[in-house]
Structure 1
Amino acid sequence: MSVTVLINSLLFGLGLAFESFMVALANGLNNANMRVLRALCFAALFAACHVAALAAGYALVFAAAKYIAHIERFLTWIAVGVLATLGANMLLEGLKVRRGDEAIKPVRRTAEFFVQSVVASFDAFAVGLTVPNYTAGDVALCAAIIFTVITAFYSVGFVVGKKCGTKFSKYAAMLGGLVFIGVAIEIAVGAF
């Protein structure tokens, strides 16, 4: 494990956690009577879906790199492009949200929440595509960090949503986007 892997894993976790925070704000607002234990279970489920998506993305690009040797030199630039696109999309979504708008539709039933968790984890799948040079241990560390950070951010977001509503969702989206753009820049600079 290198320091770069650790730092990038923390940044990936933060980038994904801001989206989780936005979702939790909306869910907290709509589920003000939910018990704390149930909210924590939802936070863990949300994080687990992100970890599964990260692993799936990593497995896909790892398998493709084995069979297509010449693609490996382009993977760094593909990663930069994916992360920059994710970041730009999140930043634009945050800029589009007007005061009083709901950025994320809140849910009430467990089945709806599961679907929301799976859909929200597509960004984690894209992050998994950006780490083909990681070892299995690096991916496990990255997954553990992402799980921990998302669970914490979701839990805090849920509580804030119960208390304050979705006033901060715009800024969470913008900050998450900036984190992904920053990681893309760091990877691009490291490639030279």
Structure 2
Amino acid sequence: MSPLSIVLIGFAMSTDAFAAAVGKGAAMRKPRLLDALRAGLIFGVIEAITPIIGWLLGRAASQYVQAFDHWIAFGLLGVLGAHMIIAGLKPDDETEADSATDEAGEQHKSFWTLAATGFATSIDAMAIGVGLAFLDVHIGVVALVIGLCTMTMVTIGIMLGRALGALVGKRAEIIGGVILIVIGCAILYEHLHAAAEVVGAA
């Protein structure tokens, strides 16, 4: 997997956390940079750990599915991408209701509440880790990139949330979904093209 693909995956995986952060930032009265960095660090660490867990699970099963591993990676990326696009297109009435409920204590949100939110937005990263277990990629590098992208995007999302509102976060999530689908198609094409070359050479 190319460095560009790894960076794009890191960005795509951070868009759902960014969307959540924009919503949180919009609910805050005056988010401070320290609050945003704290949330970004929590989200980033969790988002870096979950793909490693998924990768370990995928590696345990990789020996049984080597013949069609690229289809699994393609399917996971495609499904996750479609899910993110659908979530980004949904009306945000429920998000607004949740934000209104949390507004009073938003600036003093506890570590565990942030961690729970971070874990909820990192489920996709765990599934990505499962898909990456079937590819030739260093999971440590991917996890680090995903964590750094998420930390940066969440910090920015909270600080911009008040001014930009939830719509920007949803658009970012749609973009992230499209990126995942494109990467999945590229992985499938590379494997099928390589297989065709082997058959042609034979």
Q: TM-score range by the shorter chain?
A: 0.7 to 0.9
Quick one: distance in 2 between partners of 1:163 and 1:74? 47
CA displacement at 1:40 relative to structure 2:
0.4
1:17 aligns with 2:14: yes
Pairing of 1:30-179 with structure 2 (within 5 A): 30-65=27-62, 69-97=63-91, 102=95, 105-106=98-99, 108=106, 109-110=109-110, 111-133=112-134, 138-179=138-179
Quick one: distance in 1 between partners of 2:11 and 2:180? 9
CA displacement at 1:23 relative to structure 2:
0.8
Quick one: distance in 2 between partners of 1:187 and 1:172? 23
Q: 1:26–1:104: 8 Å Cα contact kept in structure 2?
A: no
TM-score (normalizing by structure 2): 0.83
Find the counterpart in structure 1 of residue 198 from structure 2: none
Residue-by-residue CA offset, 1:95-134 (whole Å, 9 max, x unaligned): 2226x76379445322222111111110000110111145
Quick one: distance in 2 between partners of 1:141 and 1:150? 14
Find the counterpart in structure 1 of residue 184 from structure 2: 184
Q: 2:36–2:155: 8 Å Cα contact kept in structure 1?
A: yes
Measured at CA, do residues 139 and 104 of structure 1 come closer, stay the same or move farther in structure 2, by a change above 3 Å?
A: farther
CA displacement at 1:163 relative to structure 2:
2.0
Task: Give the aligned residue type for 1:126.
Answer: A
Measured at CA, do residues 97 and 173 of structure 1 come closer, stay the same or move farther in structure 2, by a change above 3 Å?
A: farther
Quick one: distance in 2 between partners of 1:105 and 1:128? 30
CA displacement at 1:33 relative to structure 2:
3.0
Higher helix share: 2
Q: 2:22–2:162: 8 Å Cα contact kept in structure 1?
A: yes
Task: Give the aligned residue type for 2:8.
Answer: L
Moved more, 9-18 or 120-129: 9-18
Measured at CA, do residues 105 and 182 of structure 1 come closer, stay the same or move farther in structure 2, by a change above 3 Å?
A: farther
Q: 1:76–1:191: 8 Å Cα contact kept in structure 2?
A: yes
Q: SS state of the match for residue 167, structure 1?
A: helix
Find the counterpart in structure 2 of residue 28 from structure 1: 25
Q: Which has the larger radius of gyration?
A: 2
Task: Give the aligned residue type for 2:49.
Answer: A
Aligned length: 184
Q: Any stretches of 5+ residues in structure 2 without a counterpart?
A: 193-202
Percent identical pairs in the alignment equals: 23
CA displacement at 1:44 relative to structure 2:
1.1
Q: 2:36–2:156: 8 Å Cα contact kept in structure 1?
A: no
CA displacement at 1:164 relative to structure 2:
2.4
CA displacement at 1:88 relative to structure 2:
0.6
Residue-by-residue CA offset, 1:26-63 (whole Å, 9 max, x unaligned): 11112233432122011011011111110000011112
